[in-house]
Chain A
Amino acid sequence: MSVSAEAKSIDELAAQPWSREVVADEDGVFVASVPELEGCFADGDSAEEALANLEQVLREWLELAVEEREAIPEPRRQSSELYSGRFSVRVPRSLHRALSERAAAEGSSLNQLITVLLAAGLRSDAPTAGDVSRPERERAGTDLHEDIAADAAAGTRSSIGALKGIATFLRNRGDLNFACLMYGVAAERIAATEGAEVASNELGTAAALARRHSRMRLAEALWRESLRRDPTNLRSSSGLGQLLHHQGRYREAVTYLEAPSAIDNYALLFLGWSLLLEGGASDDQYLTQRGRLSIVKALQDWSYQSRDVSQREAWLRHVRRLMRLGPAWRDEAEGLITFANANSGWPKIDVGEVAAGPDALTPEAHGQAATG
């Protein structure tokens, strides 16, 4: 493929989207070049000077090619580099807000959401501003799936957005397992470009998504990978610990909940339950006592100055569960209720109301806890 030199003036040829490269040589002098045109280079004491000199050299290089009736190579940027994968668009503020809210509701980034919506929009038969019909688009070779897959396959930083876009697309279709897997693949690329800490957060987010949709094994695998990347990720540590607790794996849960319990009240609460249940199963009074103290502290902190009434029922389920462990625990539970009545913004709690309500935690956890 080459540019038809005869059909174009030197001005037109020079205005083609030729690539430019600037490198500093061993002595700090800058050399600018057009990679497509062998022998088209110029130097300068600064990158700007080298590029300015290159413009003159480029024109002369093209003049000589035309004089010699040589075929001129195609500008490399013509085909692919013109499409960087980045552009800015002006939209109404209301649309911007609606997109942001939906992204937040779906737990995705604005970029991911817009990528998926644009891809879906291009594939649909909905009318467009240019009123281009679908058959025309297909004749033009528009295949968004292929384009996004090609971007995703590239081992570059730009592949991360494509991979996350595919993941969001799969999630919206209900393919949760593959969506989470794709987020995991994106995290691999993130690790290479942005570091282990960012990749760990990405894996933790994917794990939380899997957990919300009851993909327990997948969530566990993602959280473990997150912690392999960054063992200090307290959020992932807490998530994995709570998951293990709900599966009745209390001893393991304790190892993951210890560190985040210092800053995460939920981690402290589930650490307490895991210690309590593990202590009960192994008849270890020390563990039981540590568990009791952790639960009491977590539930006190939870209720302290809380005005969120929707939290009241969840809190009560934990207190109710304590109450049912035996007479000694009933006193502990009543102490917590007294504390909450004095310090929370919730409607007054009646001890009788607590005793009659449903038990704490999830049904499966309750079953496992009972056996533990």
Chain B
Amino acid sequence: MSSRQDVDCERARRALEEIRQNRRSQTATSLAEAAEALGYEIDRGRGKGSHWWAKQPNRPRFPIPGTTRRPVSVGVTTRILGILEKVFDDVCKR
């Protein structure tokens, strides 16, 4: 139940910009899409359905808990945004 994505920096940049501007209205799906744009694969098979995992070798993995909370809480969105921004800087700004 997971899929590996290629990095798409332009899509990632737009997705991160959208998250930054609308941190209170992010869903699990929109966060997962931003992660996928940066090469993450989304593992939907863990967490008993309460959350997904975004994972990628040599990058920080993180849970996306939005499947039971719509939208995802601001605190969690901010943490995920922080991780993705670091990965974006590392992958797309070199």
Do A and B form a real pair?
Answer: yes
Q: What residues of chain A have their CB less than 8 Å away from a CB belonging to chain B?
A: 23-27, 29-31, 33, 38-43, 53, 56-57, 60-61, 63-64, 68
Which of A23, A30, A31 is most buried by chain B, counting CB atoms within 10 A of its CB?
A31
Least distance between B63 CB and chain A CB atoms (Å): 5
The interface size bin for chain B is: 20 to 34
Residues of B within 8 Å of A60, CB to CB, are 46-47, 53, 63
Residues of B within 8 Å of A42, CB to CB, are 51, 63, 65, 76
Which of B3-11, B12-20, B26-34, B54-62 lies on the face that meets chain A?
Answer: B54-62
B74 and A29 contact, CB distance less than 8 A: yes
5 CB < 8 A contacts A-B: A38-B60, A39-B62, A40-B62, A41-B63, A57-B51
Contact of B62 among A30, A41, A53, A63 (CB under 8 A): A41
B79 and A31 contact, CB distance less than 8 A: yes
Identify 12 new A-B residue pairs, CB closer than 8 A, beyond the known A29-B75, A29-B76: A27-B74, A27-B75, A31-B76, A31-B79, A39-B79, A40-B62, A56-B50, A57-B47, A61-B61, A61-B63, A63-B46, A68-B57
A23 and B75 contact, CB distance less than 8 A: yes
Least distance between B29 CB and chain A CB atoms (Å): 17
Least distance between B58 CB and chain A CB atoms (Å): 9
When C-beta atoms are compared, the residue in chain B nearest to A27 turns out to be B74
Contact of B79 among A26, A41, A56, A68 (CB under 8 A): A41
Residues of A within 8 Å of B63, CB to CB, are 39, 41-42, 57, 60-61
Residue B24 CB within 8 A of the other chain? yes
Which of B60, B61, B65 is most buried by chain A, counting CB atoms within 10 A of its CB?
B61
- Complex Cα distance, B83 from A50, in Å, reads 20
